[in-house]
Amino acid sequence: MKFYSNHRLICWWPTGLVDRATVLWYYDQLKACEWGNHANRFCDFSAVTDFQFDHIGLKSLASHRKRELSDHQNINLVTRSSSALGFGMARMYQAFMEDWPINCYVESDLDRCAEILGVPVDYLLEPKAP
C-alpha cells in the first residue's frame, strides 16, 4: 500500500489469495488515514490469484464499506486488473456501489487509470521491495 498525500491518492496492490480479512484490513487503512475520506483510490487486482468470497460475500463487503466509511464520498475509485478474475470481481463491486456517491471505474489499461486519477503512470506501479 502506498499513500500519496500530495495527490490525495491511496494505492493498493493485493497479491495471491484475498479473503474478507484482507479487504477489512484495507478498509481499516483507509479509515486510519487522516485525509482518506477525500482521497482517490487505486487498486490493482492483476496479481490476485483467488478471492475467498462469492458475490454474496462481496456484497456484504460493499455494505460494510458504505457503513464504516460513510464519509468517504465523492471520490474516484479506479480498479485495474489484467486478469479476468480480478476484472470480474471489480465489476461486481462496481455494481454493488452504484447507489453510493463515489465514481467507480474498472480498467485494464494502466494509462487509462492514470488519466482518470490525474497522476503519472509511475504512481500506479507497485513499489519494488528494497
Q: How far is Cα of residue 77 from the mean position of the Cα atoms in its chain?
A: 6
Q: What is the pLDDT of residues 78-129, one digit of tens each?
A: 999 999 999 999 999 999 988 888 889 999 999 999 999 999 999 999 988 6
CA dist 71 and 36 (Å) reads: 9
Domain ranges of the chain: 2-124
CATH 3.40.50.2000 applies to domain 2-124: no
Note the pTM of the prediction, 2 decimals.
0.90
CA atoms within 13 A of residue 47's CA, in its CB half-sphere: 9
